[in-house]
Structure formats: C-alpha cells, structure tokens
Structure 1
Amino acid sequence: MGIRLTGKEKAAVFILSLPDEDAKKLMEGMSEDEIREISRTIARLGQMPEDVVREVREEFLTRFANQALNVRGGMQKVKDLIFKVMGKEKGRHLLKELQQGPKNTPWEILNEMEPTLVATFLANEHPQSIALILSQLQTEQASFVIDFLAPEVQQEVIFRMAKLGNLPPGALEDIEESLLAELEAMGASRGLYTAEGGGGVSKVAELLNLMPRETSDKLLAFLDEEDNPLAEEVRKEMFLFEDLLLMDDKSFQTLLREVSNDELLTALKGTDDRLKEKFFGNMSERAAEMLREDLEMMGPVKVSDVESSQQAILKVARQLEADGSIVILGKGSDDVVL
C-alpha cells in the first residue's frame, strides 16, 4: 500500500467503498462516539486511489476470514452483544428475561449450589471428570469449588483443565444426563443460568485470578513442574493487580470512578510505588494527597484483606472491559488500540 493509513482511516475507506445501504447498516451498529470519530475521519479524506481501496478491502476480508473461525457462544457473549446493540439499561432487562427462562442442565444447577456442596458432590470423581465439569461452570463459582477441594486434587484438576480444548457439540450429552439424574436425586435446587463453558488456558487463568494469591501461586508452581510451557501460557493470560499498570490513563480514570475509597486504600497497602503512583497520577492533586496521607496513617492490614480488595477492583475492571467502557492491555495481549 503506497499510502500509510491509520486504523480509523482504513475503517473510513472501507465504509466508503460499500454501497450506501450496507454502509448505513454498518454504522447503525456503532456507538454515537464511534460514528462521530469515523465521520470526522471521512470528512478529512480526499480521493483514494483504487489500489489503496482494494488493499483495504482485502485486508478487512483477510482479518474477517481468520477471526470468523474462532466462534464461541455463551451467556457472556450474549451479554456483550446485547449491551453493544441495545445499551446497558435495555440490555439488562432483556438479560433478566433470558436468565429467568427454564433451567434444564446440570451446569445451571451446579452454578447456584453452595461451592462446599459442589466440592462434596465431586469429591469421589476422577480429576479429569472434575476438570471437565468445572470447565462448564461460571468462572467465579468454579474458583470457589476448587478452593474446597483437597490440595492434591486441586493440582490435578488445574493441570487437566489447562489441557482441555473446546469440546465439540454433543460431547457432554452423556455426562449431562448422568449429572442431572444424580443432582435431581439429591434434591438440588435450580437457579440462575450463567454458565460460560469451555476449558483451556484462558479458563484456568481466570480461575487463578479469582483465587487467593497463596493458592494460585502453589497451583502455578505445580503447573511449572508438570508442564512449564503450559504454565507460561497461563501466566500470560492472567490479569493480576500489577497489570493495572498497563492500562491507559483514560481507562484508569474510568475504573477509579467505580471503586470506593476504602476498597482502594486497602488494596494499595503493600503494593509497589510504581502502581501507587499510577493511581495517584490519575486523581486530582487533592484526592491523591488525601490518599497518601490515609495510607501513611493506616495501621497493619491482613494480607487476605488486601488481596480481597485487590480482587474486588480487578472484578470491576473486568466488568468494565466486558461492557466496553475500558480497554485492558494485559499480559500477553496482542491487542492494539488505534
């Protein structure tokens, strides 16, 4: 391509190359801010050479062809799409309707059971079976359940989950029928369906993110011994409190607006100076000074309380990212912000 274009300029060229009706449909799916930005870019563009337009379209089609193979459903995907198309307020109403529908799978039941009961229910299962079952539960529930398993079982389950790939449709049918019969026999109540589904490195990284640091460190050490390259893949996918340093300032400020001062104060206790300065630098001078003084005056805090506050902030960050409100460039991310 003779002319170097930015990402926005490529998007503008691609839209202009479409028939008006197709361009209209494409822009209807954009947010108001996105429409404003693309409109400004289009207004600045001059006449584009045909070879440039052709290369832009070919690049788009190539990227689309590569990404289209990685198709995965689940409630989180539904939520992301609904929020983008309908907005958060209307989207929440539709999600509520979807979530209150009939509950017909064991995953729905296990997601709403007390984690201790699920751990007891799975205690006599083979680690491979436990890994398969937990891979189908929502991440937070699975992390709680693993925490109640025996240490040696935790290690085996995490290792086997990391090795799991995406299961083909129909692969779980026999397991579902057997589990459902056992759960109904013990009178397990049914609840809200929020299953995410799927094992693999990403699932294990999400689970470890939600566990106490001591537990996750031990499980990672076990993975290192069993399969070091696999452990490194998991580490790259994990989002730790220190990774907040990798967020851009605009996203950081959005996160700060959603976090309580008490939660932040506890979370920053014992963190390194670079991360503290990142927080201070995204506040007003007065707010930063008050936080510094509060930290200096703060007495000893339990490590478990610090980790709990840090996890709460990370949970908010992940939710904001899922809503499209912030961008997180975590460890191992290949994302590029244009």
Structure 2
Amino acid sequence: MSTMLTLSRAQKAAAILVAMGKPSASRLLKFFKQEELKALIEAARLLRTIPQADLERVVAEFEAEFTEGAGLLDSADKMDTILNESLSPEEVDAIMSGKKAEAEPSGPPPIWPQLEKLEPQRLGTFLAGEHPQTAAMVLSMLSPQPASAVLLILDKPLRSEILRRMVTMTVVPETATRIIENQLRARVLAETASRDTTAGQIRVASLLNEMDKTQLDETMQDLEAAGTPDLDGVKARIFNFDDLPLLTQKARVLVFDGLSSEVVTLALRGAPPALTEAVLSSIGQRSRRMIEAELSQGSEGIPLADIMGARKTIAATTVRLAREGAYELPSAPSADAA
C-alpha cells in the first residue's frame, strides 16, 4: 500500500499548502473557515516526512483542478511555520479550542495613563530612589506634561542625569519594559490604590475653592469640628484669590504669565491695595501701566459676578499649576487663625 493511500483529504490539503511555500500558503489560509483550519492543523501534525515520489502524486492529483506545487520536507514543522507567520497566537489558540478569536488590544499599556494621573510628588518620590536609567525609561513613556511635572520634583543633579540618559536612550527591550511595568504596578499603583486619598481630597478642595472667603472659613471650621479625616490634605489644595500674596514672587509670575490683562484687570477691581500690588508686581511694566489705567476709572457698572468669576479663574489657574508641580501652594491657615 502506498503512502499516498494512507493520507486523508485534510492531510493531502496540508501537504499541498506546505508544498506551495509560505507566501502563497499564507495568502490562502485567510480564506479557510475556522473548522477547516483546525482540520488542517491537526492533519499536518500527524504527517511524517513525505517521500518526493508520493508528494508528486499528491500534487498531480491537485494540479488537475488548481495549480502545481513543489517539494516538501517536514509537513508538520512547515505547517506550524506557515500558521505562526500568518495568524496570531490568539487566533491559532482560538482555532484549536473552537473559540472565536478576540482582537488584540491596541494602544499604550494601561499602566502609563494611570501613572500620568498620579500626583507628581508621588511618582517623583518613587523615581528618586531608583536608578537614573530606570527613571529615564519611565519618564520617556509618559506624556510631556506629566513627565515635566515629575522632573521638577527631583533634585537638579538627578534631573540633569535623567535628561541626559533620555537623550541617548534607544529602544528599550520588551522584556525590560515588562519588568519595570510590573514593579510600578506592584510598588506604586497598588500602594496608591490601597492608601491614597488624593482623589477625594482634590474633589473636596475643588468644591471649597468655589466658595468666597467667608463661606470657606465657615465650612472649614465645621469640618474641623466634625473631625474630618485627611483635612490637612484638603487644606493643602485650597487656594483663594485673596491668598495670592502668600505665593512666592516666582510662583506669581508663573500664574500671571498665561493670563490675559482683561482677566487680571477684572479680578483686581475692588481688591485691597496690598493684594493689588502683589499682583501688579508680578507682571510686566507695560501690562501694569495698562491695568492701572483701567482701574483708575473705577468699577461702576461692572457686575460683581464677573469680578468674582475672574478671581476664580486666577485661583483655579494657581491650583492647576501647583498640581502640575510648578510650585507648592502656601499652607492654609487654621480655622482659628482665620
């Protein structure tokens, strides 16, 4: 009995595909149904090395209807190679298990967007204790804005060393990337999820920042009397327009650098002299003269709601820059002091 007579139809098809070579076979595999591919894989794994004469008879049988093939070495190994280069591992596993293949996830690994949402101080403190090359790799995976905020947290010598390594960094091997991701997930994200109350503090502080000074002081007194936990963290994120003189000169310059003179002028209408001077001393001379000229004309006819809206815009800008790591907000006074 010849070898050819012992081959099933699926084994003959597998032999033909291997004989056609990878490029042609790979294109044809896309047209097979899932159950047909499964039968081909199982048939190919049962094949032994087919003698050339028997292969030629298989090809001749197929040639009568379609096309001619070439030689064959080891059918099972060849078929595995074709499948691996044509289909993803998930697709092959789905075919053999009879399950529908799921699309591979696209986009960046989920750990990096999570890290970008952390407070810069949290990630900066962690990276300060790591090797500069590790810190450089982590920051290179983040978006420019959060990466810059974390860099500002670090000491200048370490910051310079990390930047130097980022400039010369090439493609990081996938294995090394996975190791670092696992460490970050276990040592940063897990700890943050279990103990960090930053998100809640930010939410409460955002609500309190919408209040005027009198309402804010009354609410803070009530929270202290009620023994609210993590209140210090909330205080550290509270900032009112009246607190601008408490900022350093450098911080005030950063705040007003991106604000229009119209917003600043509107916010200063009716403001105390000390507060007005703290603001005007933080902007350029030309803008200062323009704002002073506008303020000298008085505030009659200007809605109070517009003035308060401008002040909240400046306060919100100050808080945002602090969260990005540009500077630290001044410590809020206690309710008793207020």
Highest relative contact order (Cα 8 Å, sep 6+), 1 or 2? 1
TM-score, reference length from structure 2: 0.39
TM-score, reference length from structure 1: 0.39
